[in-house]
């Protein structure tokens, strides 16, 4: 259904009537569902997924697959029809497995993108609700605030200082001030439609309400959505590393295969069998299934992260997480529960205890009895200021009271109820006519309210900033008095005491105006202080252990907060951030004003010792990231606001808050925390380290097995024994038998010491020097066992087919045991436990059954050139294959005993 025509030139009443919506109640859920079925989801079409045929052709274009097809053609031309058919069947099977895994990975990543999808606040059935943006329909009444990405084209019906960055759509470099007036020009250019907000643009200031007039492809940005389909994805660093590894192995394969081919011909072996054997060895050298396995490991690992509430938006973040050396975390809602409750208040020169937890309408404010009447009057003003300078709501659902909006503002409403105020009555009597929105730079929020002929502004915010703007206060008499130095000292002392208890402190002030003779620039000047409100936001119970785990892993935890220094110190002490390194507290804390006074070089010099940054603005985060990165740290930075976006992009791992975070912050981040919880960051680091380690294990396993096959064949040919493996047997081992265990290794649980190791250097190679050495010697061991068994069988009078069968079974079984060895280069299998990775056990069992089938089933014996073995020969094969286990365990034990 088309969008509303020329909505900018219609009145709000016309829009409401045309869309059949009640501006005060919004759409009903049933009407919204019906419109969604009619109009379709509110989203732009994704880049079309490749078709099944395209994915099959992509697999078939791989160089090794083409090489195998050439080998099949040569076999067929040479009259080896069975060999040609088997090679072709293996190619088909490998292609089917690759396509299936690729489609599964794409499906997993698509599901994660849906999890990370934006959420909008819409009015449905008379209540504001958080709904997925893609479910918005024409006629929905939505609420927009600074930091939101506009989810659909809207006609604005109310605005408060609302400004929108429309550069992505119109190219305008400056944000646009929005209004609600009718614009009569029917042919108005897009950039001049100031009473509309467009999908894909970003709110940068203020707040607004609007009616959705177009969704999905009917929006203005939908008209140019075709351009998005032309984008291509750059390879990740991990993909580039694997590509380089593949090219290096490909070159090695050409050299070795040419050598084997030449050696075979010199030994008098036939041309066609040697060609097929050389092709098979080329396949053995290059683990062509590795890219698919890596994609699967990444996708499944990212799914596991999502289940732990860490939604990865960019795959490179997975490998970067394993290298994080510093985590810079917000305090409120990340280290703490973000479930505020007012504990105490300072009013009329006295401290008052507030009873009651959460947002339930229970509890009261306990005042000293000597001047209870005075205190009640001042507390009423303090409570009213908190209510009228708040946008939150308390809603009763399912027998409990829920907060809608900012938790701090919701706590002010609960405090007002406990102080005896009627929130609904206050908001009915006082009409809000203007607002100066809160920003993280100003740390203040003000409203202008009228009641009859009275006009009063209310301001709440950081105590020191509010008190700087006060010329009077409600003193011990309950009357307005001059805010003298002594009065300020009393309130400042209360503030320090509250902050020292780990409480978050807000100041509330007001100003009365004559009629409506007020100016915006004067609203936050000449104020009268009503009092201080101190609320608790206790640490999340799981955070202390998460901080300790991060520190054991060599990761420094740094708190960055806009709160007061003393509040930050109290929380940091409770969660263990200040745990002992011998430094004094003053050496580990830096305030925003102090940071302003440091040069870049001075900040870099101190960054390594600082654990807390208090009273900072979002702009300071950029300087902090720069200082830490200049020291060589890999920085994970959390953020939720519009102005956090530059720091999130600049950091190595930007982490946005999923609950309180703005769309802009989420768009700039690499990872979104669905629960805003610091412990989730640490869990994600653990998962990131595990994913990288598992990819390394899969690479190690495949290469050591392939090296074993190469060593056995090359050694036998050079010794004049012929080949211990046929071409088809090598292909079967590499394209069928090795794949399932490699994927099982990719799903290995974290090793016990994964969070006891220092952060991995960024850019560390998947195949480092230590792993390469292990690949070489263990590959030689695998090949040596098979070669020794093959040579013994020939010397003992076994025919060549029987000897080759024994060698084939030895290589296969040794590789399956090697899959268990590959679970760790250091840890013993007895420590890791046999049953922790059930997927690997199933994969090994599957590969073993497939291998046994080649020997047990007569049709397969005829194809792969195997024969039944006698019981003594089976015992010899199994005994020889088991040798790899004690050999590797002995080397691991020796490495563990080696001094660090």
Say how far apart CA 562 and CA 331 lie, in whole Å.
9
Q: Which residue has the tokens 């040069």?
A: 599
* Residue 350, token pair as written in the block: 């006295």
Identify which of 706, 697, 852, 703 has the alpha carbon closest to the alpha carbon of residue 783.
706
Contact 21, 122 (CB under 8 A): no
Tell me the two tokens of residue 305: 């992260």
Degrees to nearest 5, angle at CA 118 with 112 and 124: 125
CA distance 440 to 421: 29
Question: DSSP assignment of 692-727, as one string?
Answer: HHHHHHHHHHHHHHHHHHHHHHHHHHHTTS--SS-H
Closest CA to 285 of 317, 250, 258: 250
- Per the annotation, the verdict on 738 as an active-site residue is no
683, 320 in Cβ contact below 8 A?
A: no
Distance separating alpha carbons of residues 313 and 334, to the nearest angstrom: 19
148/153 Cα distance (integer angstroms)? 13
Q: What is the largest CA-CA distance in the chain?
A: 114
Report in angstroms the alpha-carbon separations of 749 from 297, 684, 839, 840.
12, 14, 10, 11
From the list 345, 718, 694, 672, the residue with the least C-alpha distance to 507 is 345
Tell me which residue of 319, 289, 286 sits closest to 95, measured CA to CA.
Answer: 289
- 161 — alpha (psi -120 to 50), left (phi > 0) or beta? left
- Residue of 330, 391, 566, 644 marked active site: 330
For residue 33, give the 3-state DSSP assignment. helix
In the block, tokens 């900072």 appear at 616
| Cα distance from N-terminal residue to C-terminal residue, the chain | 70
Q: Which residues pair with 451 in a beta bridge?
A: 454
Q: Give the up-direction half-sphere exposure of residue 598: CA atoms within 13 A in the CB hemisphere.
A: 18
Give the other-Cβ count within 10 Å of 774's Cβ.
Answer: 20
Query: Is 435:158 a contact under the CB 8 Å cutoff?
Result: no
CB 886 within 8 A of CB 778: no
Nearest to 706 by CA among 730, 676, 670: 730
Q: How far apart are CA 854 and CA 863, in angstroms?
A: 9
By the 10 Å C-beta count (0-12 exposed, 13-18 middle, 19+ buried), 210 is classed as buried
The catalytic residue positions are 330
């Amino acid at each position: 259904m088309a969008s509303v025509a020329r909505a900018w030139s219609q009145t709000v009443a016309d829009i409401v009537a045309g869309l059949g919506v009640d501006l005060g109640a919004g759409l009903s859920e049933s009407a919204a569902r019906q419109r969604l079925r009619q109009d379709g989801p509110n989203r732009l079409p994704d880049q079309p997924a490749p078709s099944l045929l395209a994915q099959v052709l992509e697999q078939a274009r791989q160089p090794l697959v083409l090489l195998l097809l050439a080998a099949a053609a040569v076999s067929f031309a040479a009259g080896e029809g069975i060999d040609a058919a088997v090679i072709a069947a293996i190619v088909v099977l490998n292609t089917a497995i690759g396509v299936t895994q690729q489609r599964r990975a794409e499906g997993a990543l698509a599901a994660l993108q849906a999890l990370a999808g934006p959420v909008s606040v819409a009015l449905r059935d008379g209540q504001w609700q958080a709904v997925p943006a893609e479910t918005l329909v024409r006629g929905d009444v939505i609420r927009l605030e600074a930091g939101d990405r506009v989810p659909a084209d809207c006609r604005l019906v109310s605005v408060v200082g609302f400004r929108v960055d429309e550069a992505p759509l119109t190219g305008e470099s400056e944000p646009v001030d929005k209004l609600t007036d009718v614009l009569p020009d029917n042919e108005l250019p897009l950039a001049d439609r100031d009473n509309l907000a467009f999908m894909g643009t970003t709110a940068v200031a203020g707040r607004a309400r609007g009616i959705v007039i177009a969704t999905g492809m009917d929006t203005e940005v939908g008209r140019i959505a075709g351009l998005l389909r032309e984008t291509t994805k750059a390879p990740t660093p991990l993909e580039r590393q694997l590509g380089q590894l593949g090219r290096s192995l490909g070159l090695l394969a050409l050299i070795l295969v040419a050598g084997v081919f030449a050696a075979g011909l010199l030994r008098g072996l036939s041309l066609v069998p040697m060609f097929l054997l050389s092709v098979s060895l080329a396949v053995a050298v290059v683990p062509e299934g590795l890219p698919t396995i890596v994609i699967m490991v990444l996708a499944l690992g990212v799914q596991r992260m999502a289940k732990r509430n860490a939604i990865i938006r960019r795959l490179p973040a997975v490998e970067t997480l394993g290298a994080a050396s510093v985590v810079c975390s917000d305090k409120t809602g990340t280290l703490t529960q973000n479930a505020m409750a007012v504990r105490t208040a300072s009013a009329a020169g006295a401290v008052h205890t507030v009873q009651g937890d959460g947002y339930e309408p229970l509890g009261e404010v306990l005042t000293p009895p000597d001047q209870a009447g005075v205190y009640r009057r001042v507390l009423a003003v303090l409570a009213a200021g908190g209510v009228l300078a708040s946008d939150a709501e308390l809603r009763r659902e399912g027998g409990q009271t829920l907060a809608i909006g900012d938790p701090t503002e919701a706590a002010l409403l609960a405090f007002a109820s406990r102080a005896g105020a009627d929130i609904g009555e206050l908001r009915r009597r006082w009409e809000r006519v203007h607002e100066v929105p809160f920003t993280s730079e100003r740390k203040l929020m003000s409203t202008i309210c009228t009641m009859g002929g009275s006009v009063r502004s209310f301001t709440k915010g950081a105590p020191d900033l509010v008190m700087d703007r006060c010329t009077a206060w409600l003193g011990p008499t309950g009357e307005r008095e001059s805010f003298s130095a002594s009065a300020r000292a009393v309130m400042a002392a209360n503030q320090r005491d509250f902050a020292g208890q780990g409480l978050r402190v807000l100041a509330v002030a007001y100003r009365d105006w004559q009629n409506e003779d007020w100016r915006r620039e004067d609203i936050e000047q000449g104020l009268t202080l009503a009092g201080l409100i101190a609320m608790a936001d206790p640490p999340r119970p799981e955070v202390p252990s998460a901080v300790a785990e991060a520190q054991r892993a060599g990761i420094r935890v740094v708190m960055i907060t806009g709160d007061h220094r003393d509040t930050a110190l109290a929380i940091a002490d409770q969660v263990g951030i200040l745990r002992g390194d011998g430094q004094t507290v003053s050496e580990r804390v830096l305030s925003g004003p102090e940071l302003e006074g440091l040069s870049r070089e001075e900040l870099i010099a101190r960054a390594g010792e600082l654990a807390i940054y208090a009273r900072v603005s979002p702009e300071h985060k950029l300087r902090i990231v720069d200082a830490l990165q200049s020291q060589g740290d890999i920085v994970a930075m959390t953020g939720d606001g519009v102005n956090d976006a530059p720091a999130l992009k600049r950091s190595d791992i930007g982490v946005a808050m999923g609950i309180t975070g703005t769309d802009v912050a989420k768009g700039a981040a690499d990872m979104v925390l669905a629960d805003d919880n610091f412990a989730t960051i640490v869990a994600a680091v653990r998962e990131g380290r595990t994913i990288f380690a598992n990819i390394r294990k899969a690479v190690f396993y495949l290469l050591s097995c392939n090296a074993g096959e190469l060593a056995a064949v090359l050694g036998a040919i050079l010794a004049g024994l012929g080949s211990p493996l046929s071409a088809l047997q090598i292909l079967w081992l590499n394209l069928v038998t090795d794949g399932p265990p490699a994927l099982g290794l990719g799903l290995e649980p974290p090793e016990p010491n994964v969070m006891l190791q220092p952060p991995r250097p960024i850019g560390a190679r998947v195949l480092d020097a230590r792993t390469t050495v292990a690949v070489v010697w263990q590959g030689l061991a695998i090949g040596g066992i098979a070669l020794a068994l093959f040579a013994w069988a020939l010397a003992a009078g076994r025919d060549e087919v029987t000897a080759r069968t024994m060698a084939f079974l030895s290589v296969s079984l040794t590789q399956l045991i090697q899959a268990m060895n590959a679970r760790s280069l250091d840890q013993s299998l007895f420590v890791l436990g046999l049953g922790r990775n059930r997927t690997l056990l199933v994969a090994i069992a599957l590969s073993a059954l497939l291998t046994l089938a080649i020997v047990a089933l007569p049709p397969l014996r005829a194809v792969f050139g195997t024969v039944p073995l006698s019981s003594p020969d089976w015992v010899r094969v199994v005994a020889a294959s088991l040798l790899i286990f004690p050999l590797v365990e002995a080397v691991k034990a020796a490495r563990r005993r080696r001094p660090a």
